[in-house]
A and B are shown apart, each in its own frame.
Chain A
Amino acid sequence: MRVLVVDDDPLAAEMTAAVLEDAGFEAVQAESGTAALEVLSTDPSLELVVSDMNMPGISGLQCFQALRARGDERPFVLLSGDDPQALRASEPGLDACVRKDFDLESTLGQAIADVLAARRP
């Protein structure tokens, strides 16, 4: 399964990608929300988006809103240094919110598993 990792910080993107790859996903990186929107519009093989919240240009949340607004329903997991509960509350449509933390390996893996389980018909 191919996953798009969106983060303007290349190291953070690498780290997220490493966690995902370790969990058996194929990770593709995009360095901004705009780049993500572009890749996602042309590459249907990407099945899930894991995006950082805080980026120049459009934020992860805005990227999510843009996807939904253009009818793209692919699961979207938001990473943030802030309180994930509050973010989730502000945008209930998000599939998951995960705190950027050293626990990423377990929390992100769990979040993705939950999202995929919830999406399964």
Chain B
Amino acid sequence: MAFDAKRFTARFVEEAREHIRRIEEGLAGLKTAPADQENLNAIFRSAHTVKGSARMLKFVSISQTAHHLEDVLGAMRDQGLAYSPELGRLLTRAVDGLAALIEGIESGADPGDLDQVLCADLVAALSAPGAGPQEAIVPAASPPDSGLPGKLAAASGTAPEVGFRSPDTVRVSLAKLDELIKLLGEVVSSHARLRQRLQDLHQIERLRARDLELLAAGDDVALSGSLRKFGRDLKDDVLAQELLMEELHGKALVMRMLALGMVFDSAPRLVRDLGRSLGKEVECVVSGAEIELDRQLIDRLGDPIVHLLRNAVDHGIEDPATRQRLGKPGYGTIRLTARQDAGGVAIEVGDDGAGVSLEAIRQQAVRKGLMTADQATALSDDQALDLIFRPGFSTQPIITDISGRGVGMDAVKRCIVDDLQGSIRIETEPGKGTSFILRLPLSLAVMRVLLVEAGGEILGFAAQQVAHLLRVPADRLVLVGDRKAIVLDNEIVPVLGLATLLSLPEPGRRLQASPLAGGAHPGGGLLLVIVQVRNEKLALAVDALVDEHDMVIKPLPPHLAGMALVSGMVVTGQKHLVSILSAQALLAMAGQARLDVRPGGAGETGRLSILVIDDSWNTREIEKDVLEAHGYDVTLAEDGRDGLQKALERQFDAVLTDVEMPHLDGFTLTATLRADERYRSTPILLITSRQKEEDKRRGIEVGADAYIVKGEFDQGSLVDTLRALLG
């Protein structure tokens, strides 16, 4: 028979994947509504279709597996085989097996062998009709100790070979295509009008030649009239053309948008497979799969997300015995969530596992020779967490095939931050779990760019790195130590002139005396761009906001790619090249500038030790600077619990704490310290963002010595109060 199966294989895989997805959805639905006939029908039909297509293409193992699956589903539908969690698990196993076979075709031409154990189990489930299906299914549903779905284990040796794939083709709805064609029609007619303008111009030229003598006499009415009209028409046409192009661009981009489901849908199976291969039961809960992203992003998002999921299964989720000992459910849960977030998308991979041990990270950093023990101890928790993105850094004691080889997390960060212009953040709580939060733009092709002017230069910021734009009166700034800062939402953010930071020459007309080069706006007050990278914020004073636009950001040419400060270029309407500044680099420069201000380590002896507790990175760093500048020895803690632990480890001479913090607030912390003999009379200062009588009273009730409002630092009250209390 002249039937070329190859031509149909790709199509089959694509369709079969779709059916697998539907079956998985359906099975999930059965959990909550086991008797939903319609759902059962739909699953049955999908299994049936896969069986039929596979048989046509002679994928025997696939058609047989689908056949057994179909039989069981049929028994459920027609013969009253009752749904039970055990049966559900068996069905899930069958779908996973089926999916593995289908992926096998994609990678090699051969789907691989039939999983005999699985088929036998499916048959066994069938032979237990009516009365006691549950009992009969229990032994069948727990596979032999090898635990691995046969094909997966055989194919890849040790760890299951899993990953996400998006198809090479996109299905576009006819309606979208029609719109596009209609728009193109308009572009054609718009083009015709431009052609007309060209003719007009010829006409004007002829007019000019003929009227040259008249011109000499000073009569150019006809000519200038036609010129004016020509100019007007051309302007209209160009404008119309621009609108069209914009719409066309937008429509074309939307066509390239794909739902995150492309990446997310296979996650539950991937996680289950990985879990099984490690002897863990792990469930993956997906939400937000309907959110659409540019396919360029989707394509490159697969690897990082697979890595994060692997990481969560391997490092995050504890083994069942440990979990049970901790009073957690034996199976782990991984949440893969996407949500719209400020013009972009936030994707979160969160597990309910052990959390990241900061202690282990610090020790690992020392073991790897990245730093001395002292340096490691001095790292803030955020800085310590950041270490896991270093190449070659792994804290897993045992290297496994799934992860722990220390390749990957750095690649994840590189992909998300450098390639996809996004950001990545970690939240972890010992015993409760870890979340990786990725923020991504909707599309790579165009990005929201903010153009500003500082020191006579036009500079750009990628919008997702800008947290706020503010115009504030100059007196809103507070002086913290000798540096300017602004209090925003319970946080102290340092303020620097962008031009000063970049050492741009200041235009002569500006006040040289101003400590913030630029930023003093004629309209009164300062114009501040607040950039944010993870938890760090920095306010940059600029001279003017120039524009905000969706623009195509071009990467730097290879020979310039090493420049940390500039993350890319955009071309403005005036054909000017504008540098897009990297917020990371600016923050690093600002941090450097701060270090330079710090006094040397002179006078180590007799320095009083202060514990500073604040959940805002900026605030505690700034308080640290101020206090260090006044000769105090400062230790930082990032929330009440951390603060309490540090305070109980060693005796401090004074404690400065924020009021509103997660886990343990400032009042509770104060009360707890007061209950400890060592801290009965140690000065404790509450630092808060707003003046509230009730809070002040509670401060007194719990035994605090002072209650300082953040904005009042400039009156020197912090250091003065501390000095007075320390005597």
Contacts and interface: CB of A to CB of B under 8 A. Distances in A.
- Within the complex, are A and B direct neighbours (CB within 8 Å)? yes
Interface stretch (A15-23, A59-67, A81-89, A97-105): A59-67
Given A66-B672, A69-B645, A70-B648, A34 B703 contact: yes
A62 B664 CA distance: 7
B675 A69 contact: no
B674 interface: yes
A40 B671 CA distance: 13
A67 B672 CA distance: 8
Contacts of A33: 668, 671
Contacts of B648: 70
Contacts of A116: none
Contacts of B640: 65, 69
B698 interface: yes
B660 interface: no
A57 B671 contact: yes
B667 A62 contact: yes
Nearest to B644: A69
Interface string A46-66: 000000000011100011011
Task: State the majority secondary structure of interface residues on A.
Answer: helix
B276 interface: no
Contact of B667 (A38, A40, A57): A57
Contacts of A34: 671, 674-675, 702-703
A66 B698 contact: no
A37 interface: yes
A69 B665 CA distance: 11
Interface in B505-533: none
B641 interface: yes
Nearest to B641: A69
Contact of A66 (B669, B677, B701, B703): B669
A115 to B, nearest CB: 13
A41 B644 CA distance: 14
B381 to A, nearest CB: 15
Contacts of A40: 675
A58 B644 CA distance: 15
B78 interface: no
Given A65-B664, A66-B664, A58 B702 contact: yes
Contacts of A69: 640-641, 644-645, 663-664, 672
A43 B671 CA distance: 17
Contacts of B668: 33, 58, 62-63, 65-66
Given A38-B675, A65-B668, A70-B672, A57 B702 contact: yes
Contacts of A58: 667-668, 671, 702
Contacts of B665: 62
A37 B698 contact: no
B350 to A, nearest CB: 16
A70 B648 CA distance: 8
B671 A41 contact: no
A62 B641 CA distance: 12
Interface string A28-45: 000001100110110000
Nearest to B640: A69
B671 A70 contact: no
Contacts of A37: 671-672, 674-675
Contacts of B663: 65, 69
A63 B670 CA distance: 11
Nearest to A38: B675
Nearest to A65: B664
Contacts of B664: 62, 65-66, 69
A41 B671 CA distance: 12
Contacts of B667: 57-58, 62
Interface of B: 640-641, 644-645, 648, 663-665, 667-669, 671-672, 674-677, 698, 701-703
Interface of A: 33-34, 37-38, 40-41, 56-58, 62-63, 65-66, 69-70
21 contacts: A33-B671, A34-B671, A34-B674, A34-B703, A37-B672, A38-B675, A40-B675, A41-B675, A58-B668, A62-B664, A62-B671, A65-B640, A65-B663, A65-B664, A66-B664, A66-B668, A66-B672, A69-B640, A69-B641, A70-B645, A70-B672
Q: Which 7 A-B pairs have the closest CB atoms?
A: A37-B675, A62-B668, A66-B672, A38-B675, A57-B701, A69-B641, A34-B671
Given A33-B671, A37-B672, 6 more contacts: A41-B676, A41-B677, A57-B698, A62-B665, A66-B644, A69-B641
